[in-house]
Structure 1
């Protein structure tokens, strides 16, 4: 067989199910080989960035990498935003690019650029296949690295002449390893420190949405009552209905859950990742006692300098804590402040639940109705914009990985291609993507991909005719904003042109029936509504006047 055949066989051995992308001349041999695969499905997309977002969401939902594919030059550069998003949001991914013949890479040549060096800053590893015999090792290493905590993207480049070379190697068998676990001594120290605290609090990061970790975290909280505040990407690590769920933290302004942080005498960070929420925002005075429990040692930062670090498999670390709690006389804490925080934030979430008689549509009302219509296992995806802040604050979850927010690299254009991937992974669940009118049009070409695949999904567009989040931040800092306005298409006509169901509503009373109809329709549906973003500055004002409940 030739090298491209061997590459496909190695990917099959790894259990790769999907490759999303746009092929070109330089990966023609690979595409011919891939066409013969019985276990890998190639999904043709309309832009490489959309392919990368699809692979990212597949990785976030399954824990296994999918591939995203582009050719050399502009195909590779189109991939890079989605690849960076996956890498910084800790989703496993394989990035597969073609390249010109190895005989012309040393000189000026058509479309040739150093793709590997370009990908190095946004991947865990990037390499070129120079010898067909190395393909089994390269693919095995790439998949292992992509999956290893913290997960991320890995890039493999296959030059067109190397792809054609004969080879008689075989794939390496997949052999997985058990993650290292903490020593008993450090776990004893962690348990003693928790036991000595009066008001401990957990900040859960995206490491907690791994299912085993979420299960052990819930057991810990049931035993102790310790409250959990999640970052945007950790939503659902504990059930929103549990009394110890203190909702979400991460807005730039101080919000109600931050009161629990202020009152805590010990912050336990679990799977915490400072790319989401910088510790300066919750430990500015560097006075907090921090216990770090994660797969990896703490990132060095002057505002995050824990005395005790428990490093190893997070689920196992939590299990070890639970074993010690069971063997103890029980732990007693003062949880009064945390209960008050939950009470006040719950009231905040319910504030606009009955806005059905109003003509304007507030963000809070949209998210309340969405939560009522979505089952615990259904999946909401947020694009990036002002709506992301509202989703983070007001859409709470019952299960891990049911609200997917890009919050490391924060790339606009994420939700539509991500929803396509989610619908492929879970065709029986309701899939709802929420976008601004700015972010949606960045990858609207994938409407054709969704129609071609007959994906059952709904995309909701909050229309405000401009880049609302930038305006919100400019108004907060300068009291005015620059020109951020733009025009929009006839949304229903756009949906019809792509063969989608299309809906446009104008009032809050139409919202729930229209969303229910869209979610129940076969195939893709588009629902567009004018959003009342006067609430942005109103929220800023109210948070600025906020006082903690105790």
Structure 2
């Protein structure tokens, strides 16, 4: 990495000498830095300073990242300004996932920083994840001097070409005059009606050039919400009124639009069942009589029977990245009303009858009024599906076998958390169990990535969530495979004083791939591994470690960690994944009664 080359050490040594010369040979560099004013009155504002001013204007409060030689001018500008908190992480991937989760919970663009070459390349995964899941994120990357980016040169990668396919917009600042417009455009595009990731690249020599004397950050534009036309509302009401068995499919766009209340009113008024995507969990309370749970499992699950019977799907805040529509519309014979802030995605099994591209909350409000005037209501007969879900959720609540059954782990995890506690669920076999069975009652309290389905995001994500929730406890649920991918960010969490509980489902294998291999050909290969001592590992970082030793041990361990006076807690729980094949076998033979 660029932090370790000789040029950086020379520059740091020079700065240390300068500090000693000014403040006395007996004074340490750290003490001198603490006593000097942030602003240097002799410093001429440069491009990096102007860039930081633009970030402040955009409302940025925190940036996650790793410093490198080429972004030293930017780091210094952050320190001079003093308005934005910079969180040093242990890996750029961790920085990106922290920014992504911070954005998910706050609704504001998350910002992450990397240096050139390998540092920037490490950001590509979380940037692509944010772009796929419609999360606003702005990645800031350093680059080598303009004089050498055209040729093969040390650590030079064509970053514009790298990031362009995985962002809405990527641009490199090539002149001081371009700073304010580039920064405004980067944030504006990240926050459009379909949120996404953008990337802004700053060469090191441009960063140190003087900023134009008259350059000031551009004002943020007011967000104008598009309202549906009366014709749209009438057309939707007509289609719904003529349906026999409508069903609502709710995606994560509902939570972005804060439209969960109107979703509930619409369901109750029509008496229509609601299923959510994995990413939409919580936008419709699982306590509600019309709740069907989630769709998106790899087999024909309980909720799919409701879609089999439906002749109309009212898709609200849905995008096809969240799961393949063929699972709910295999014959492409259902009418679909698409309600979202952006146009429907192209898919042979998601051919829409009507598109309403407008503010979701406003659209639902007007649709509710139109349907009320028509007195439209339906007979909902999906209680059997709810009964099956409830039965499975409780099926192992008294099972004392150890390693624990997945159903018991989910049941005890739910009982240990309050309704408003946030659980981040990683990718793996555990995601299937948590998504299907973990009852969720409020938006953004069970966060799952089912767009890019990235492993290892929840541990750094919990750091971002902790900052977004201002220290309230956050639960990260991970498999042992995903835990080891970014476990170094435990140090970041401890250093920041985060209150995080990391629940590791331990099976010493890539469990989801083992599951799929067993389904595919009856056996599995090359998916097993060994683990470290998780308790000692946690303690080596300054965190608290706990190994679950019996089925009755898990719930008290989670409760104690969540109610503790802060701290990072790692709870390792051995899990019996032999239930996986039993589940898919059961669902493959499932027929609903009646």
| Aligned equivalent of 1:391, options 428, 434, 438 | 434
| Aligned equivalent of 1:489, options 532, 537, 559 | 532
| 1:44 aligns to 2:88 (yes or no) | yes
1:518 maps to: 561
Pairing 1:256-267 to 2, within 5 Å after superposition: 256-267=302-313
2:377 maps to: 332
| 1:360 aligns to 2:400 (yes or no) | no
TM-score (norm 2): 0.90
SS of alignment partner, residue 322 of structure 2: coil
Contact 1:18 1:43 in 2 (8 A): yes
| Aligned equivalent of 2:292, options 246, 249, 252 | 246
Give the deviation of 1:428 after TM superposition: 4.8
SS of alignment partner, residue 177 of structure 2: helix
Pairing 1:435-450 to 2, within 5 Å after superposition: 435-450=478-493
Give the deviation of 1:323 after TM superposition: 1.7
Give the deviation of 1:339 after TM superposition: 2.2
SS of alignment partner, residue 257 of structure 1: helix
Structure 2, unaligned runs of 5 or more: 1-44
Pairing 1:462-501 to 2, within 5 Å after superposition: 462-501=505-544
| 1:97 aligns to 2:141 (yes or no) | yes
TM-score (norm 1): 0.98
- Show CA shifts across 1:397-455 (max 9, x none): 11111111111111111010001111111135331101111100000110110110111
Q: How many equivalent residue pairs? A: 547
The list of structure 1 runs, each at least 4 consecutive aligned residues, that deviate by more than 6 angstroms after superposition, is none
| 1:68 aligns to 2:112 (yes or no) | yes
Contact 2:257 2:360 in 1 (8 A): no
Give the deviation of 1:549 after TM superposition: 3.4
Pairing 1:402-413 to 2, within 5 Å after superposition: 402-413=445-456
| Aligned equivalent of 2:183, options 121, 126, 139 | 139
Structure 1, unaligned runs of 5 or more: none
- Show CA shifts across 1:12-65 (max 9, x none): 001011110011111110110011233311000000000000000011111111
2:248 maps to: 202
| 1:318 aligns to 2:364 (yes or no) | yes
| 1:539 aligns to 2:583 (yes or no) | yes
Q: Distance in 1 between matches of 2:304 and 2:350?
A: 17
1:272 maps to: 318
Root-mean-square deviation over aligned CA pairs? 1.2
| 1:32 aligns to 2:76 (yes or no) | yes
Contact 2:471 2:498 in 1 (8 A): no
| Aligned equivalent of 2:162, options 113, 118, 126 | 118
Q: Distance in 1 between matches of 2:558 and 2:223?
A: 45
- Show CA shifts across 1:476-509 (max 9, x none): 0111111211111011111110111110012211
Q: Distance in 1 between matches of 2:290 and 2:103?
A: 29
Give the deviation of 1:149 after TM superposition: 2.2
SS of alignment partner, residue 23 of structure 1: coil
Q: Distance in 2 between matches of 1:138 and 1:432?
A: 37
- Show CA shifts across 1:307-327 (max 9, x none): 211121111111111121333
Q: Distance in 1 between matches of 2:93 and 2:364?
A: 37
Q: Distance in 2 between matches of 1:145 and 1:135?
A: 16
Asked which structure has the greater CA Rg, the reply is 2
